[in-house]
Amino acid sequence: MKQRNNTLGEFIIEKQEEFKYSSGELSRIINAIRLAAKVVNYKVNKAGLVDIVGAAGEQNVQGEDQQKLDVYANEVFIQTLINREIVCGIASEENDDFIAIHGKAGDDNNKYVVLMDPLDGSSNIDVNVSVGTIFSVYRRVTPIGTPVTLEDFLQPGDHQVAAGYVIYGTSTMLVYTTGHGVNGFTLNPAIGTFYLSHPNMQYPKDGKIYSVNEGNYIHFPQGVKDYIKYCQMEEGDRPYTSRYIGSLVSDFHRNMIKGGVYIYPTSSKAPKGKLRLLYECNPMAFIAEQAGGKASDGYQRIMEIKPTELHQRVPFFCGSQNMVEKAEEFMAKYK
């Protein structure tokens, strides 16, 4: 008789003792994200039938056109976390500034802040390509009982207590870590329950996939150009396969399962890189390292970078350990 898979709720309860410092709040944060993800998943799956695809007519703080579903997902995740009264602050890629949250009594007794990209890869919504949500959780550093400040959000990635992503694709999955490995849960849409489908996810040490937007090749640093040529060279187990979806969650998820490297470097068009350290790179780096992979900016570990601003951008090299290290070798030649 096949053993029944744990539901996400059962798994959270079983692993409660692994949540450092927590007296239940972190479990409730994951549960709130689970609920919000189900609501967004429902809308994503109806996107072609209702007026929720296309541009919202506004730009976010990065000057990018906001998609209608971007705005919707942002509101759903923020309101779900606020209504649960479990976090003292939220920062979103879609908002100019962080949101300080006060309890009904006006106090600030919650311990955690959440940073998120509510709908990663949203430019793919209109063409029915997988999109996702990325989230990151930190324990606040300012005194409990006082309003949160920018300092609570500008923490290096190695201070994260939890991180994860939701991928809305052929099946909807929630993948997360609290520093004790990575586990993936697949939504059964018939009953609205997430089940443990991918326990103890691990990056293969090597891979045969490289994910980079080669349309920007002429703008890349020489080290990245050389690494791409290395990937294309016929030698040993190469050439590698090029796979680039343009949705970080989708590219990351595939590479973690099959083995590969994802690269979004600096370029003459984006001299600081394009991906956001706090909303995309740190949470994905935490997951990658917990799954035996590696994440860097081409020279140093992503999770050791001290953030200086809320919407800071960095170059991102992430994936199978040996592939990232080989890319770093090429980068080091031109440091």
> Which residues line the annotated binding site for Mg(2+)?
93, 117, 119-120, 280
Could you tell me how many helices (H) and strands (E) the chain has, helices first? Answer: 7, 15
- 3-state SS, residue 82: helix
Q: What type of residue is 140?
A: R
Q: What distance, in Å, lies between the first and last C-alpha atoms of the chain?
A: 57
Binding residues for substrate: 120-123, 213, 244, 274
Q: Is 7 exposed, middle or buried (0-12, 13-18, 19+ CB in 10 A)?
A: middle
How far, in Å, CA of 123 to CA of 333, rounded?
35
Q: Could you tell me the sign of the dihedral formed by the alpha carbons of 32, 16, 253, 268, in that order?
A: positive
How far, in Å, CA of 271 to CA of 289, rounded?
26
Binding residues: 93, 117, 119-123, 213, 244, 274, 280
Shortest CA distance to 248 belongs to which of 314, 310, 292?
Answer: 314
Q: Token match 């600030």: residue? A: 108
- Cβ pair 236, 212 in contact under 8 A: no
DSSP 7: B
Q: What type of residue is 259?
A: G
- 3-state SS, residue 178: coil
How far, in Å, CA of 98 to CA of 116, rounded?
11
Radius of gyration of the chain (CA): 19
Q: What is the DSSP string of 8-21?
A: HHHHHHHTGGGSTT
- Cβ pair 264, 316 in contact under 8 A: yes
